[in-house]
Amino acid sequence: MRQLRVWLLRFKGLFLKGARERDFAHEIETHLQMHIDDNIRAGVSPQEAKRVAVMKLGGVEQTKEAYRDRATIPFLESVGQDLRFALRQLRRNASVTFAAVLTLAVAIGANTAIFSVVNAVLLRPLPYPHSDRVINITTTSLLRGLDDLVLSDAEFNEFKEQTQTLEKMAAYASGALNLGDVAEPERIGGTEVSVDLFSVLGVTAHLGRTFTSEEDMPGYEPRVLMSYRLWQGHYGSDPNIVGKTIQLNGRNRLVVGVMPQGFHFPKDDTDIWMQLNLDPASRVLNAKYLNTIALLKSGVTREQAESEINAIYQRVREKYPQYYKNETGVRAGVVGLQEKNVKAIRRALLLLLGAVSFVLLIACANVANLLLARAAVRRKEIAMRSALGCGRWRIVRQLVTESLLLSIIGGALGLLFAFLILRVLLVGSPLDAIQIQSVKLDLTALGFTALVTLIVGLLFGLAPALHASKVDLNEALKESDGRGSLGGLRHNRTRALLVISEVTLSMVLLIGAGLMIQSFVSLLTVDPRFDAAHVLSMRLTVPGAKYPQNSNVTALYQELQDRISAIAGVQSAGIINQLPSDAEKSEASFEIEGRPFITDVDREDGIADYRMVSHSYFNTMGIPMLRGRTFTDQEGRQASPVAIINDKLARRFFPGEDPTTKRIRLRPDSPWLQIVGVVPDIKNQGLFADTSQEMYFPYAENSFGLPVMRTMAVVVRANGDPASFINPIKAELRTIDKNLPPYKVQTMEQVLAASVSKTRFTMLLLTVFSVLALVLAAGGVYSVMAYSVAQRKHEIGIRNALGAQSGDIFKLIMGQGFILAIIGVVLGAITGFALTRVMSSLLFTVSATDPKIFIAVALLLIVVALLACYLPARRAAMVKPIIALRNE
Amino acid sequence: MSTKTEIWQGTLALMILKTLDTLGPLHGYGIARRIEQISGDRLSLNYGTLYPSLLKLEQEGWVVSEWGVSENNRKAKYYKLTRSGRKQLAREEQEWNQTTAIVAMFLEPVEDQS
C-alpha cells in the first residue's frame, strides 16, 4: 500500500518538473547559505566558507541529480525524453518517415487482414461448447483419400453399442425441402438428425426446445426445428411460432423450436431439422446414408478413439462383406469438426499467411535500410553524444525508441488498411457466408497487430541501432559532413545483406504467384466441352406428396421445358439431373452385350457415372455429338430403351469399333439399352478433374429400375443476357405450380466461375503480395545504390579526374546492383525450389518447380533491379571531377 | 582512507526520524548538523545525500515539509514527523535494537567449553 503511494507520487513527479526543481534549488541555496553563515561565524574566510559548504554538500548538481532520481522514475523519465526526441527526429526527416510509415502500414495492414481471416476460419474454435471434443468419423483409402464414413442404420447402431471412447454419437442425413405456404416459396436445406445431435454440439433451442427421445422413436410423426434465419425471413420472428405448423414438401409439420442465430449445422444452407426416427433394432444394411458426429469422452485422446473406431469398422466390414467394395487398406478414423470444415481452404490460407509475412519481412528490410542510411548521416551526432558520456546502451535505446515509434505509427495506420483490405478481400473470397461473417478485426487481431508491430519495430530498429552505436569516436568526429572514407558495398555489408534478402524473398513470392497465375490461366483455357455462354440454369425438386408417380414428375418437367422453350428469345431448354460442376454424382456398373459381365466392383472401369437428360439437353448446352444421334423426345415413352455414352467410355471399351452398334445393360434383370450416340468428355466434375466414364439416359425412362429423379436442373439457352430470363421463367413455373420454388438460379458462366473461385482468390492475393514485394525490393535496391553513390561521390570524382570514362563508372555501379540482384535471385530460386512444393496441391497442370516460371521470374527480378540501379548509376556517371575537389 | 564510518540508507532514514522526533520540525541543514554532532563527528556524511532520503520519507508519508523561517531569519524548508512517522520510528527502533542485540550475541567472546 505504502509502496503504491510512493510509486504514484513518483509517477506524478514526472509531470511537475519545473515547480519541483525551482523549489529544490531554493532549498539547496538556503542550505548552503546557512552553512556558509556558520562557517563565517567560526572564523573562516568567505571564499573558504563557500568552498567547504559546497564540498560538504557533495556538489550542487550531483545533489540535484540524486534528488531528481528519487522524485521521479528515472527510467520512464528518460523514455519520455527519448520519445520527444524521436518525434522531433521523425518530423525533421519527414520524407524518410513517410516512406517508412507507409511501407509498414501496408505490410502490417495486409498481415492483419490475412491473419484475421486465418483466425476466424482456422484458429477460432467453433461456437460449440467442447468443440475440441466434437469429431466426425471418416474413412481413408488409397483410392479415394479422406472421406466421410457413411453408414447404414444397422451399422450406426453397432458403432453406438460398441464404442467405449465416445460419450455420445449422433447421426444425420442432409437433404433439401420445399418450403410452401409462404409468400415466397423456397427450396431450403433440411437435415434429419438423431436426438443426440444437439447435445453432442451442446446447442439448445433459442425458442421452444429440441427433440425429445420419444419424438425420435421410429414411427413418430415428423416435427421440425427451424433456423433463426428462416424464422426471421419467412415468419417475421413470430414469437408464437412454436406449436404452429409450416408446410414442407406439401405437408404440414409442427414446429417445436427455433435454433439460435448462426446455427446451421451441418451446412451453411441448413434451415430445417427433423427427427431421423432411427430404429435401434434396425437391420437395414443396404442404404448407407448416415453421417455421424460424436463427442469424445473427456480424457480420451483422438488416437485412442481412432484406434477403437477403426477396430469397430473392421469388424463391421467383416460382418457384412457384401455391403462393402472389395477394397483393401481402408481405415476408419476421426477428424475434428473444425478441421473437416476448413479442409478445402486451409492450405490456401496458410500459403497466403506465409506470403504476406514475407511481404512484412521485406518491408522490415526496407525500413531497416532507410534507418541505416539515416544512422550513417547521424554518425556525428551519435559520436558527439557518446563523447559527452552517453553510454552505448542509452544510444541504442534512443534509436530503438525511434524505430518503435515508427512501427507503432505504421501499425496504427495498418489497422486502418486492414479494415479496408478486409472489405475488398471478403467480397472475392471463396469462403462461405458463415465464415465471412465470423471474420472480424477483433481483440485477437488487434493483439496480433500489436505484437507484429513491436516485433517489427525491434527487428528493423535493433540492427541499425547496434550498428550505429558502435562508432569510432575519433574517426567519426574527424570526418567532415557527408564524405566518408568508406566507399563501396564492402563497407556496407549489412545493407547489402538486407537488399539480398529482399530480392530473395521477392523471388520466392513471385515464383508462388507465377505458379498460381499459370494454374489459373490453364484453368481458364480448359475447354469444358460445353458452351456456357448465354445459358441459365436452375434447379427444382418435385415433392412426392403432390406428384406421387414417376409419370407425374416427367409430365411436369416436360411441360416446363415446353413452356420455357416457347418464351420469346429462348432458343432451347433442356433437363438434366446433375449439372456440370455439381459435387454429387451417381455411379452404376454396366454389362456389355456379348462380353463377360465385370462383377468385381473394385475394378473402376466396370463402373460409369450416369446422368439423366432430356432430348434437348445436349443441344441446349452446345454439346456436339461425336457419333450417332441424340435422344428423340419420344424416347423414354414408347421407343425401345437407348443410351448415349461419352468418348472416354467408347475409347476404353470399343476401340476401333462403332459403339452405336452395341448394347449395354445395368443389371442382368434389366433390358438391353441400344447405344445411339457418343458425346465428348464434358468437364462434369469441375475444370480441375478428369472426366469419368459416363452414360446418359433419357430422363423419362425408368424401365430399368433407377430411382425416380425428383430433383432436376433446367438449362436454358437464350439470346442475350440469360439472367434477364429469370423472371419470365419463374412466371411460367408459377403458372404450372405456385408452390414449386426454383433454386440455385445461376448462369452457367457463374457456375464455372464458382468452380475456380478458390484458385482465382489465391492467385489474386499472391499476385498482389508479390507485386508489393517487387516494388519494395526495387525500392530497397534503389535506396542502397543511391546511397552508395552519394557516399562515393568523392571517390568517383577522383576516378573521373584520373581519366575514367563516364561509361566505366556507369558500368561499375550497374555491376554492383547486378551482383546483389543475382545473389538474391539464386538464393530465391533455391528457397523457392524448397518451398513451392507445399503448394503443389493448389496447382493445376503446372509443376511446383516449373523451370519456365523460375526463369521468367528471375529475369523479371534482374530487370527490375537493374532499372532500380539505373538512376543512381547515371547520377554517378555524371559526377564531375570538380565535385571531388569541392568536397575537400 | 579516513577512520570515519560510511553511512547507509536505511540507517540514515532512522537517524533522520529520530532527530525529528527529538528536536521537532527542522530544516535539512539542521538535521545534517545534528546527526554529525550526535555521532561526535565520527560519521562521514555528505549533506546532499540527506535530501533524497528526506524526499523518500516524505513520499512514504512519515514526514511532511513546509516552508518556514529559520532562527537566523532565512526562509527554509522545515520537515516534521507525522503521526504514522512516529509509529514507524518506534517500529524501526525496535527492529534495530533486536538486530543489534542478535549481532552482538554473535560477536561476544565465547567461553571455551572444552
DSSP letters spanning A802-862: TT--HHHHHHHHHHHHHHHHHHHHHHHHHHHHHHGGGGGGG-SSS-TT-HHHHHHHHHHHH
- Closest Cβ–Cβ partner in A34, A37, A58 for B49: A58
For residue A599, pLDDT over 80 is answered with no
Residues of B in contact with A23 (CB under 8 A): 77
* CA A462 to chain centroid: 32
Band of pLDDT at residue A328, cut at 50, 70 and 90: low
User: Taking CA atoms, what residue in A is nearest to B48?
Assistant: A57
In chain B, residues 53-82 whose CB comes closer than 8 Å to chain A: 55-56, 59-61, 70, 72, 74-77
User: Taking CA atoms, what residue in A is nearest to B73?
Assistant: A34
First-to-last alpha carbon distance for chain B, in angstroms, is: 41
Grouping H, G, I as helix, E, B as strand and the rest as coil, residue A599 is coil
**Under a CB-based contact definition with an 8 Å cutoff, are residues A209 and A256 in contact?**
yes
Are B56 and A70 within 8 A, CB to CB? yes
Band of pLDDT at residue A255, cut at 50, 70 and 90: very high
pLDDT at A76: 81
pLDDT at A538: 92
Give A204 to chain B, closest Cα distance, Å.
Answer: 57
Whether CATH 3.40.50.150 fits B9-107: no
pLDDT at A143: 59
Listed in sequence order, the residues at least 6 apart from A771 whose beta carbon sits closer than 8 Å to its beta carbon are A513
For residue B2, pLDDT over 50 is answered with no
What is the residue-averaged pLDDT of chain A? 84
Encode pLDDT of A77-98 as tens digits.
788 888 888 888 888 888 888 8
CA angle A176, A289, A309 (to 5 degrees): 135
Cα distance between residue A262 and residue A433, in whole Å: 10
Band of pLDDT at residue A491, cut at 50, 70 and 90: low
| Average pLDDT score over residue span A341-362 | 84
Torsion, Cα A754 A758 A762 A768, to 10 degrees, reads 20
Mutate which: B50, B55, B75, vs A, most A CBs within 10 A:
B55
| Average pLDDT score over residue span A486-491 | 45
Q: To the nearest 5 percent, what fractions of chain B are helix, strand and coil?
A: 55, 15, 25
Encode pLDDT of A817-841 as tens digits.
889 899 999 999 999 988 888 888 8
Query: Buried b vs exposed e over A217-256: b needs ≥16 C-beta within 10 Å?
Result: eeeeeebbbbbbbbbeebbeeeeebbeeebbbbbbebebb
Cα distance between residue A499 and residue A497, in whole Å: 5
Residues of B in contact with A56 (CB under 8 A): 46-47
Across A154-168, A256-270, A454-468, A718-732, least confident range: A454-468
Band of pLDDT at residue A489, cut at 50, 70 and 90: very low
> For residue A124, what are the CA distances in angstroms to A203, A222, A339, A534?
18, 35, 11, 42
Band of pLDDT at residue A722, cut at 50, 70 and 90: very high
**Under a CB-based contact definition with an 8 Å cutoff, are residues A192 and A175 in contact?**
yes
Largest CA distance in chain B: 68
Are A66 and B48 within 8 A, CB to CB? yes
Are A70 and B47 within 8 A, CB to CB? no
pLDDT at A790: 79
pLDDT at B83: 93
Q: Which residue stretches of A215-336 are H helix?
A: 228-235, 302-319
Are B51 and A27 within 8 A, CB to CB? yes
For residue A176, pLDDT over 50 is answered with yes
pLDDT at A600: 47
- Closest Cβ–Cβ partner in B48, B59, B72 for A57: B48
First-to-last alpha carbon distance for chain A, in angstroms, is: 65
Indicate the burial class of A685 (C-beta count within 10 angstroms; 0-12, 13-18, 19 or more).
middle
Query: Buried b vs exposed e over A591-613: b needs ≥16 C-beta within 10 Å?
Result: bbeeeeeeeeeeeeebbbbbbbb
Residues of B in contact with A6 (CB under 8 A): 56, 59-60
Paired residues of A570 in beta bridges: A718
Listed in sequence order, the residues at least 6 apart from A381 whose beta carbon sits closer than 8 Å to its beta carbon are none
Encode pLDDT of B26-70 as tens digits.
999 999 889 888 887 777 778 888 898 999 999 989 999 999 888
Q: How many CB atoms lie within 10 A of CB A37?
A: 16
Give B55 to chain A, closest Cα distance, Å.
Answer: 7
Give A78 to chain B, closest Cα distance, Å.
Answer: 19
Q: How many CB atoms lie within 10 A of CB A482?
A: 13
Q: Identity (one letter) of the amino acid at A871?
A: L
* CA A846 to chain centroid: 21
Encode pLDDT of B58-101 as tens digits.
998 999 999 988 877 888 899 999 999 999 999 999 998 998 89
Query: What nine digits make up the cell of A844?
Result: 493445376
For residue A66, pLDDT over 90 is answered with no
pLDDT at A647: 93
- Closest Cβ–Cβ partner in B59, B72, B77 for A27: B77
My answer on whether omega of the bond before A266 falls inside 30° of 0, hence cis, is yes
How does DSSP classify residue A684?
T
Query: What nine digits make up the cell of A620?
Result: 441446349
Are A30 and B47 within 8 A, CB to CB? no
- Closest Cβ–Cβ partner in B48, B60, B77 for A6: B60
Place of cell 485477437: A444
- Closest Cβ–Cβ partner in A5, A9, A31 for B28: A31
Count of CA atoms in the C-beta half-sphere (13 A) of A116: 28
Give the residue from A323, A297, A229 showing the smallest Cα distance to A267: A229
pLDDT at A583: 63
User: Taking CA atoms, what residue in A is nearest to B77?
Assistant: A27
Encode pLDDT of A542-595 as tens digits.
877 788 887 888 889 989 999 999 999 999 999 998 888 766 677 777 888 888
Cα distance between residue B20 and residue B24, in whole Å: 5
- Closest Cβ–Cβ partner in B28, B59, B61 for A27: B28
For residue A26, pLDDT over 50 is answered with yes
Whether A6 and chain B come into contact, CB under 8 Å, resolves to yes
**Is A706 or A126 the better-scoring residue by pLDDT?**
A126
**Under a CB-based contact definition with an 8 Å cutoff, are residues A403 and A457 in contact?**
yes
Query: What nine digits make up the cell of B90?
Result: 518506534
Whether A66 and chain B come into contact, CB under 8 Å, resolves to yes
pLDDT at B114: 46
Query: What nine digits make up the cell of A59?
Result: 556538489
Q: Please give the interface size between A and B, counted as residue pairs whose CB atoms are below 8 Å apart.
A: 69
Encode pLDDT of A311-321 as tens digits.
998 888 888 87
**Under a CB-based contact definition with an 8 Å cutoff, are residues A575 and A617 in contact?**
yes
**Under a CB-based contact definition with an 8 Å cutoff, are residues A461 and A371 in contact?**
yes
- Work out the percent of chain A whose per-residue pLDDT is above 70: 92
| Average pLDDT score over residue span A742-761 | 84
| pTM for the whole structure | 0.72
